[in-house]
Structure 1
Amino acid sequence: MRRTLGRLAEQAWERFDDYDSLFFEGRWHRSQELAGRARRVAGGLAGLGVQPGDRVVVMMANCPEVAITYQALWRAGAAITPVVFLVSPEELRHILLDSGAGIVVTTSEVIPTVRTAADGLGVRIVAVGGTADGVLPYDDLEQADELPLIDRDEQDLAALMYTGGTTGRAKGVMLTHAGLYEASLASREAGSVPGLTRALVPLPLSHAFGLIVTLVGMQSQEARTSVLMRWFDAKEWIRLAAEHRIQLAPLVPAMINLLLAEPSFGATPLPDLRYVTSGAAPLPRESLEEFERRVPGAQILEGYGMTETSAVSVVNRPGARKVGSVGRPLPGYRITIRDEQGGELPAGRDGEICIRSRCLMKGYWRAEEATASAVVDGELRTGDIGHLDEDGHLFIVDRKKDLIIRGGFNVFPRDVEDALMEHPEVTMAGVVGRPDPRSGEEVVAFVSLAPDARVTPDELIAWTRARIGRIKYPREVHVIDAVPVTSVFKTDRKRLRRMLAEPPRPH
């Protein structure tokens, strides 16, 4: 059997009888209703001229139509190009031009962004829940006849996902049917716990983490129910988790920290919550411990991956977690730690994390030089720094490109951020380097504080100095309303560096 995502969706629909499978904004959607809609939308897209191999941009706030559109495009033989709905018109225009997409499927909230980005490009716009001149209602696609499955080769393009661009202009990552199929299957086998079938999903389904969560659900051998949030809100997450007796919840660290900042978190019992998977960015140990203190019986399982590895590569298994690590490699993935000359380093030594797998990207779209730089002899150079322990657990230190070199010594921003996050009045921290004529680079921190916090920047400087020593502690701390994050909830270091040009006045 070919490992294609169109076939995977078809098998998932046929595996179980009709049941309430998806809850969204007050309404249950039944599994066969969603299947029929996807088959008809596939016909509607084909009627618009979508051909096998075409790229179609899907830029939507979370809603049932996101997964329906993905499954419809795979059924029609096309490739999805998911884009987080928070991107700017300029960023979207770059993606449209680079990918060659002729259609954008969107939601009403972002029609203005899409129209600005697509101006003059001849791109057709299809929108859920909104009408505007030149915009085709999504409902019109569902009037078509069901489209028979168009089969594709396993190595054909299934998804063209653009990197977040935190270290440069976004590049298109080419992911194949087989790669995503195998990655989601390995994730299911590593993380599945029989009987745990109720999940709450606030992740953007257009992010690699959200996409792999969707595919893992399609791989499930049990009838699963999902509660989908349009976007994350801490109070609403708590309400939904309690009301639906949620057992599983994928989150990113920024969401976990927002939950911890919500006074009602922990006051509302969540006795059914067993596992929270955390990825996309490092999670401070203090946040993990505080979450588990407030929700007895729940356990956070950190994992690691990137878009280029089909979203996942390393996970902590239920019942076999090692706190502080992101787990062990999934089946089919091999992790090697290398020095700057490419030599393999032993356990315990920090170096660049390199990954070998059949699930790696096919390459960067129309960027052969970038591909050759990132994938060397079949091995992905991640740009992340970490080490393996004797048991094969991976520990992440930081991004190689975020490294601060102060006076000839390496300072990893995460070490400083973790020290700041230990302070009870700090809710989030971001650290960058500022060019300095004496030390080469100086360590600068930005923090957001809890309501009614009284700690001063000088006190935070002293706090970190007592914990991480003279070389690493920040010489400047700026208190801001919110530490900026990217559209995929990673600390936006590019924006922090821009803010240094006109630093906010310390409180």
Structure 2
Amino acid sequence: MTVTAATGSTLPQLAERSWERLGQESVQIFEGRTWTAAELGARSRRFAAGLLAAGLRPGDRVVVCMANCPEVGVAYHGIWWAGGVTTPVLFLLSDAEIAHILRDSEAAFVITTPEFLPKIQNAAAGIPTVRGIIVAGEGSGALDFAELEAGDEAPQVSRVPSDLAGLLYTGGTTGRSKGVMLTHDAMSAAAWAMVHNSDEDDDLQVALLPLPLSHVYGLTVSVTAVHATTPRTGVLMRWFDPVGWLQLAERHRAQLGAVVPSMLQLVMAQPMEDYDLSSLRRIASGGAPLPAQVAADFVKRLPQVEVYEGYGCSELAGGITAGKPGRPVPVGSVGVPMPNIEMKIVRPDGTPVDPGEDGEICARGPMMMSAYWNATDETAHAIQDGWFHTGDIGHQDAEGNLFVVDRIKDLIIRDGFNVYPRDVEEAMLTHPDVALCAVVGRPDPRRGEEVVAFVQLGPGATVTTEELIEHGKARLAAVKYPRDVRIVEQIPLTSVGKLDRKTLRRKLS
């Protein structure tokens, strides 16, 4: 696959070339309908005209909080064509969390789908900057998406590559959600790196897309196509469900898939062998650590599939490292730095670690954020001497493969020893009755902290907490194994499918 230049053009300029280049090629399938690049491009330009007529001004932030549908990509490119800034927001957030983003970003418009219109109307109530709510579908008290794109196409509003293109809000797992400022250049560079990381002779062209597009993942996917000369068809799911995933993979002969680990585990709980998945070749996992046992079990059931991990964050527009297709990586590795990414791992004093030594992961590149929105102190803490400090602990081997150990703030210190929750979770997941596991630290007057494992069992499981403690004891060092195991009906996940440790810590007593 060949790629265009990474920087030097705005996203609308890149998209215009892409729409002309790909033309009548099929690029998206959704609920039985196929869309070409030319059709989606024309829709985006018409929607831009509707936004401008509704009063959008250059630099205005537009929140996109939608279920997956073609209108998400149309909205993104329409906003950029009209000179605006996209702010994707996951529909799983609470009213209060959405209200915080609307208020903090000073959003001018919000685009949503009917399922979430009441939530958006409630969140936007009393926020003076919001001049309109747009709904893609039926909904009262809102502007109609279809009507906004019913007129003529708009001319492109002039912007420069250094202008703000995206304002992405962090998940808030370690504090208040912050706005990540990404320029046209930064988002273009991130998408270019994703394309360039693929095999140039890649002939796998049908990808199953279950992840939310109203997220950094979807935003990057929406830009990736502007750098590819070979078309790839995305089979879009409105939202993920494991049976639907299997059905679509079979029906459309999907070759590629992008998931978070919890999705893979839910798919594996289904009778996968009842579906023809022989076309499937690659699964990319990201967003959270992929347990080695889960990856091994998936490949055992589908031997022709290569499962590889990536690692990244919103502050670098998605990707930092990835497993390159066809390049084997050690078990547990999330690959090597992506093109145009520099990475280093440092000790608390800022000095570089040795190969195999844990430290904080730092990265920089043309896709790095400009700053946090209206957060000077947080920006100064996160970006030091041009390097973004991720807050994650990891190490590299001699070949440069990265191993992410855990979040610094999730580290458990028991009897003065570091215990990484991921190590404990991996060990507990080797028990056949364990479907999900999440580990947190509980304050302890003698030990400093005690290791607590929350466990979600699989269907029909009968294992006891005592047996699970013994299972951990047999596989972990004495300082690491959990003395406190709690079986729960369901492990809470964040809106992006990560283990929700904040919620679990609140359950401790």
Partner of 2:317: 310
Alignment check: 8 A CA contact 1:6 1:151 kept: no
What is the rounded CA distance, in whole Å, between the counterparts of 1:85 and 1:390 in structure 2? 42
- Are residue 427 (structure 1) and residue 462 (structure 2) matched? no
TM-aligned CA deviation for residue 22 of structure 1: 1.4
- Aligned to 1:312, the other structure's residue is in SS state strand
What is the rounded CA distance, in whole Å, between the counterparts of 2:148 and 2:328 in structure 1? 45
What is the rounded CA distance, in whole Å, between the counterparts of 1:93 and 1:17 in structure 2? 39
Q: Which of 210, 214, 218 pairs up with 1:210? A: 218
Q: Which of 9, 12, 28 pairs up with 2:34? A: 28
- Are residue 114 (structure 1) and residue 114 (structure 2) matched? no
TM-aligned CA deviation for residue 26 of structure 1: 2.2
What is the rounded CA distance, in whole Å, between the counterparts of 1:448 and 1:228 in structure 2? 29
Residues matched between the structures, number: 499
Partner of 1:452: 460
- Aligned to 2:318, the other structure's residue is in SS state coil
**1:386-417 CA-partner distances (Å, limit 9, x unpaired):** 00111111111111010011111111110011
- Are residue 40 (structure 1) and residue 46 (structure 2) matched? yes
- Are residue 391 (structure 1) and residue 415 (structure 2) matched? no
Note the 1:92-491 alignment, pairs <5 A: 92-122=98-128, 123=130, 124-132=132-140, 134-192=141-199, 193-262=201-270, 264-322=271-329, 323-491=331-499
TM-score (norm 2): 0.96
Alignment check: 8 A CA contact 1:200 1:226 kept: yes
What is the rounded CA distance, in whole Å, between the counterparts of 1:214 and 1:464 in structure 2? 43
Moved more, 450-459 or 13-22: 13-22
TM-score (norm 1): 0.96
Amino acid at match of 1:290: D
What is the rounded CA distance, in whole Å, between the counterparts of 2:197 and 2:398 in structure 1? 20
TM-aligned CA deviation for residue 209 of structure 1: 2.1
Amino acid at match of 2:437: A
TM-aligned CA deviation for residue 461 of structure 1: 0.9
Amino acid at match of 2:72: V
What is the rounded CA distance, in whole Å, between the counterparts of 1:114 and 1:215 in structure 2? 26
Partner of 1:7: 13
TM-aligned CA deviation for residue 32 of structure 1: 2.0
**1:81-111 CA-partner distances (Å, limit 9, x unpaired):** 0000111010011001100002100000101
Alignment check: 8 A CA contact 1:427 1:450 kept: yes
TM-aligned CA deviation for residue 305 of structure 1: 0.6
What is the rounded CA distance, in whole Å, between the counterparts of 2:350 and 2:8 in structure 1? 36
What is the rounded CA distance, in whole Å, between the counterparts of 1:12 and 1:30 in structure 2? 12
For residues 212 and 321 of structure 1, do their structure 2 counterparts lie closer, same or farther at Cα, with a shift above 3 Å needed? farther
TM-aligned CA deviation for residue 52 of structure 1: 1.2
TM-aligned CA deviation for residue 12 of structure 1: 1.5
TM-aligned CA deviation for residue 295 of structure 1: 1.4
Partner of 2:22: 16
Alignment check: 8 A CA contact 2:196 2:339 kept: no
Amino acid at match of 1:374: A
Unaligned segments of structure 2, at least 5 residues: 1-6
- Aligned to 2:44, the other structure's residue is in SS state helix
What is the rounded CA distance, in whole Å, between the counterparts of 1:151 and 1:319 in structure 2? 41
Could you say what the CA RMSD is over the residues aligned between the two structures, in angstroms? 1.2
TM-aligned CA deviation for residue 187 of structure 1: 1.3
What is the rounded CA distance, in whole Å, between the counterparts of 2:194 and 2:105 in structure 1? 28
**1:1-48 CA-partner distances (Å, limit 9, x unpaired):** 832211121122111231332111222223322111111000000111
